[in-house]
Chain A
């Protein structure tokens, strides 16, 4: 799986969680860009990604995710394990 494919695949997760079909998520998108992206939305996102890619993130994985690009890289790292 490539970086762009993961980025594409996670768009609907953002649409669902923020209830906004018009969101376009890029590598640089971060919590400052979306008003409702608080620590809870962060958990929602992480849990949905775990489900979508059948992976499990641990405490160590999650402490310095800065933007969507970091999340995608984490998913890729997990999928390739």
Chain B
């Protein structure tokens, strides 16, 4: 996050200040990730676009937009559209709402008629999504339907098949099923969002009649922010680690003063229940792959005792890093980021003290600080609504993350027993699997491409459909790598993609997870890449290094591998490697399975 946007933000002032915010954000000297977003609406969308732009700038994107004319979402996709083809969207957002449903049941409608209305509507949307995907290769984001503001049939409206609410609920379920079956389709749940905000606040009749907006002026920032969270998730910019304070955050009371038997946790009192609810939510985050860490001004022994309390939902082992000491919280947060080998911008900070929050906001502006206010009972809802941990799918790789970190600590301890690093590497008994992409890994590969910042030569980002393309096109060499050793399985940790042009293989993507730095895996995957080139009778490999703030670890990679510097294009250095006929394998420590 580039701007210390407070979450929750004030939706009221956001729109008024957006022009100023945008100018300010554009003056920041940061390398931005360009994306092209097409907004295709069934109602007016321009303010949605403006507000979304600011949220995307805050997240480090450089967005460009295409906007359909009023209510042209369907025509824009279904008919030839040179302007949209020229625009080459990465993402297409369909903003439709209950005003765009073509046919509603009437009092005369039979059950069968309503089923066929539902099916016709789904055929229309399915055609729309698949045409958009096939034609433009874009990721599709579709919002589902909000409920109608008035119900001619009252409560019966959602019960009888003749009701509008009934049809909408049917369609929303069909949308979800469609998204389960199509990886490129993501649903924005405005059915939930509108309920959360309240329908009266969500829908403003005057705003609709005057300007044809299907959401109110006040709701636009909520809609756009929520959409920005999905876009962050598509590009794997999801936050990785939740850092929590302990006293009056994980339990009620000060454990150092009151002792473990007197802290408030469990279900015996109202206060205890609120802390227990927060802990349970955090455990669910951890189970789906968010790393959790402690940052507390406390004596370590006292602090750990809190999690030995029989009613504590979280246990000491759930935390990847446990910092309970008397250092400043900024120092501890820096240590946590270092130990996990992730950026400060991947951390979310949860602390009941407004003073500590303000210090972190000032000293470490990259950290996302949750402005939880006062009252433990409200922390959970603010954490939840922040969307910082939004993901587009659940993956088993994510769930294992804490385990990976722990195994790495074991490796580091083990490493200290060795004086000769290559003896250490050999003793790890590493086994690699290096193969062309397979569909089961497309999502993990997309995720890795988008979130790897350190060992990443080009920092080129890709969507799911790009990854499918690398694999299916004959013009690319695509390899992923997995690595196991005596301590455990590191999972899928590296990707390399070569684009084949005029008998040369251009390495457009090469990256590796920080989990496996300094294990010589890059040599093993390069050997395999060379073999793939040889089998296609390609002798020249072209490497590109585009420096960023985070990737200087690979500054010398190409020269170390024996590439010759060729020239510079803007800030990118270009390197050439001619495969010798007697190419010697560079990797000696890792066994590559076949």
Chain A positions within 8 Å of B, measured between CB atoms, are 16-19, 36, 39-40, 43-44, 47-48, 51, 58-59, 62
**Distance between Cα atoms of A59 and B205 in the complex (Å):** 9
Residues of A within 8 A of B19 (CB): 17-19, 36
Q: Give min CB distance, B375 to chain A, whole Å.
A: 26
Q: Give min CB distance, B20 to chain A, whole Å.
A: 5
In the complex the two chains form, is B15's CB within 8 Å of A44's CB? yes
Residue-by-residue, is B202-229 near A (CB-CB < 8 Å gives 1, otherwise 0)?
A: 0000110111000001000000000000
In the complex the two chains form, is B210's CB within 8 Å of A62's CB? yes
Number of interface residues of B (CB under 8 A): 16
CB<8 Å pairs between A and B, sample of 29:
A16-B16, A16-B17, A16-B20, A17-B16, A17-B19, A18-B19, A19-B19, A19-B20, A19-B23, A39-B211, A40-B46, A40-B47, A40-B50, A43-B47, A43-B207, A43-B211, A43-B217, A44-B15, A44-B16, A47-B15, A47-B16, A47-B217, A48-B16, A51-B12, A59-B206, A59-B209, A59-B210, A62-B206, A62-B210
Residues of B within 8 A of A16 (CB): 16-17, 20
**Distance between Cα atoms of A16 and B14 in the complex (Å):** 11
Residues of B within 8 A of A47 (CB): 15-16, 217
Which of A40, A47, A48 has the most chain B CB atoms closer than 10 A to its own CB? A40
Residues of A within 8 A of B209 (CB): 59
Residue-by-residue, is B39-53 near A (CB-CB < 8 Å gives 1, otherwise 0)?
A: 000000011001000
Q: Give min CB distance, B218 to chain A, whole Å.
A: 8
B interface SS class? helix
Which of A19, A51, A58 has the most chain B CB atoms closer than 10 A to its own CB? A19
Residues of B within 8 A of A36 (CB): 19
Residues of B within 8 A of A44 (CB): 15-16
Q: Give min CB distance, A31 to chain B, whole Å.
A: 14
Residue ID in chain B nearest A36 by CB atoms: B19
**Distance between Cα atoms of A47 and B13 in the complex (Å):** 11
Residues of A within 8 A of B23 (CB): 19
**Distance between Cα atoms of A18 and B17 in the complex (Å):** 9
Q: Give min CB distance, B10 to chain A, whole Å.
A: 12
Among A17, A18, A19, A58, contact of B206 (Cβ-Cβ < 8 Å): A58
Q: Give min CB distance, A54 to chain B, whole Å.
A: 14
Residue ID in chain A nearest B46 by CB atoms: A40
11 other A-B residue contacts (CB within 8 Å) besides A47-B16, A59-B209? A16-B17, A17-B19, A18-B19, A40-B46, A43-B207, A43-B211, A43-B217, A47-B15, A48-B16, A59-B206, A59-B210
